[in-house]
């Protein structure tokens, strides 16, 4: 597999790469695009081939999701993650955020608290706010370069009767933790004790670097508590975010029925012909491609680590255990959050997501998307190093 090829994404209106997006969010159209969490890499060849075949067929009428799709998905999770998904528990819907928004609506009321483990994927905040719920933080603790869950604080927040939901990001975007079985069990014990509903967002589940292993949250919680739903999707895994649906797994029958009714009422239970064929093909034939990608991503990460060590520019890497995102620590540069944002976009000319976007706890950090050719990462590192040296 060759992930080194540069692909011009501006042939299509790509968010991350468009001049308008770069101007609006970074004030610099020339900055290297490394913000949005998709990859500048082609999808697995089998997926491209099947989509070409499907396009050549020329008829794109209504379809249903075939049995073979669900079998491919079940086999993927069973073979790769030892997780036996019960087909009866699955619900499809257009996107993970869509599913999270529905679940928030169904398992809390207006003004209730939804707990987030900050710094965390910023769209969670938008979904909570747009549903008129309150964001309650259970900030992660950074200890000697590794983020941990503050379980005492979680216990306290979960114990507040105003708080109804925890959104768990497993593995965690942006800090790259792949939560261990023990950590997930601790979460379960707390949430069960306080009757909190857990929404586990596992969109990054396929990205764990050995020896770390992704533990699907339902494998540690489903037998113990009813109040849980997990959202999965092959969008990130195979870089097909622009076309796929998401899957929500809800073991508890009444909760699932409620979700199903909603999807039916708002008619968001349709699929599209490209999405279902892409998902089925990727889960059937994408394993080798993903294995190669994981090796390539670790190569990018090693390059970043070595570059930062060699050049002593006071920027450090929070070593990711998974995801295709790296969380960089700029605190030693001594810049305020907005100054750092300016420095990165204008001096270093890299469009990375400033840490404060992920919550106040992220100030002084930034998230860089590294699902791209090694050359792009190298260019970004060179830009960064030159900018730090010029500013000394």
Ligand X SMILES: Cc1ncc(COP(=O)(O)O)c(C=O)c1O
Task: Decide if residue 97 touches ligand X (CB under 6 A).
Answer: yes
Residues 227-286 that bind ligand X (CB under 6 A): 233, 235, 241, 246
With CB under 6 A as the contact rule, the residue among 85, 203, 228, 278 that binds ligand X is: 203
Q: How many residues touch ligand X (CB under 6 A)? A: 13
Among the listed residues 162, 173, 174, 182, the one whose alpha carbon sits nearest the alpha carbon of residue 115: 162
d(CA 70, CA 352): 36
Give the residue with the Cβ less far from ligand X, 95 or 258.
Answer: 95
d(CA 384, CA 31): 11
Rg for the chain (alpha carbons), in Å?
Answer: 21
Residues 303-362 that bind ligand X (CB under 6 A): none
With CB under 6 A as the contact rule, the residue among 41, 73, 96, 191 that binds ligand X is: 96
Q: Which one of 13-21, 89-97, 111-119, 304-312 is the stretch in contact with ligand X (CB under 6 A)?
A: 89-97
Task: Decide if residue 114 touches ligand X (CB under 6 A).
Answer: no
Give the residue with the Cβ less far from ligand X, 241 or 387.
Answer: 241
Give the residue with the Cβ less far from ligand X, 201 or 280.
Answer: 201
Burial 286-313 (b: 16+ CB within 10 A, else e): beebbeebbebbeebbeebeebbeebeb
Instruction: State the pairing for strand pair 113-116/350-351.
Output: unpaired
Minimum Å gap between C-beta 371 and ligand X is 11
Q: Residue 326: enclosing H or E segment and its boundaries?
A: strand 325-329
d(CA 278, CA 59): 16
With CB under 6 A as the contact rule, the residue among 118, 173, 276, 281 that binds ligand X is: 173
Minimum Å gap between C-beta 310 and ligand X is 30
With CB under 6 A as the contact rule, the residue among 91, 112, 183, 201 that binds ligand X is: 201
Q: Residue 13: enclosing H or E segment and its boundaries?
A: none
Residues 217-236 that bind ligand X (CB under 6 A): 233, 235
Task: Decide if residue 374 touches ligand X (CB under 6 A).
Answer: no
Assess contact for 100 and 167: CB atoms under 8 A.
Answer: yes
Give the residue with the Cβ less far from ligand X, 65 or 235.
Answer: 235
Peptide bond just before 363 cis, omega within 30 deg = no
Peptide bond just before 171 cis, omega within 30 deg = yes
Q: Which residues in this chain contact ligand X in the complex, by CB under 6 A?
A: 37, 95-97, 121, 169, 173, 201, 203, 233, 235, 241, 246
């Amino acid at each position: 597999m060759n992930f080194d090829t540069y692909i011009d994404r501006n042939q299509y209106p790509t968010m991350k790469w468009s001049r308008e997006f770069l101007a609006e969010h970074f004030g610099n159209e020339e900055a290297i695009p490394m913000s949005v969490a998709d990859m500048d890499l082609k999808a697995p060849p089998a997926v491209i081939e099947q989509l070409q075949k499907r396009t050549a067929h020329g008829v794109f009428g209504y379809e249903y999701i075939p049995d073979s799709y669900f079998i491919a998905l079940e086999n993927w999770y069973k073979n790769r993650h030892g997780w036996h998904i019960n087909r009866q528990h699955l619900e499809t819907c257009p996107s993970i955020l869509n599913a999270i928004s529905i679940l928030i609506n169904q398992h809390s009321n207006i003004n209730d608290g939804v707990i987030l483990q900050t710094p965390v994927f910023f769209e969670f905040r938008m979904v909570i706010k747009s549903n008129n719920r309150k964001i309650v933080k259970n900030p992660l603790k950074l200890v000697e370069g590794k983020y941990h869950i503050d379980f005492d604080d979680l216990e306290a927040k979960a114990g507040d009767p105003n708080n109804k939901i925890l959104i768990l990001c497993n593995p965690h975007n942006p800090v790259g933790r792949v939560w261990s079985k023990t950590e997930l069990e601790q979460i379960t014990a707390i949430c069960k004790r306080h009757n909190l509903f857990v929404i586990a967002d596992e969109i990054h589940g396929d990205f764990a670097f050995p020896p770390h292993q992704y533990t699907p949250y339902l494998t540690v919680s489903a037998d113990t508590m009813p109040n849980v739903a997990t959202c999965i999707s092959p969008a990130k895994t195979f870089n097909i975010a622009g076309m796929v649906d998401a899957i929500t797994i809800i073991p508890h029958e009444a909760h699932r029925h409620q979700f199903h009714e909603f999807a039916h009422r708002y008619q968001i239970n349709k699929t599209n012909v490209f999405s279902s064929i892409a998902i089925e093909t990727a889960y059937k034939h994408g394993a080798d491609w993903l294995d190669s990608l994981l090796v390539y991503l670790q190569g990018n990460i090693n390059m970043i680590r070595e570059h930062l060590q060699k050049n002593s520019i006071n920027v450090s890497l929070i070593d990711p255990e998974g995801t295709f995102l790296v969380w960089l620590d700029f605190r030693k540069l001594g810049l305020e959050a907005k100054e750092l944002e300016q420095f990165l976009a204008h001096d270093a000319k890299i469009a990375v997501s400033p840490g404060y976007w992920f919550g106040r706890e992220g100030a002084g950090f930034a998230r860089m998307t590294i699902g791209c050719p090694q050359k792009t990462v190298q260019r970004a590192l060179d830009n960064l190093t030159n900018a730090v040296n010029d500013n000394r």
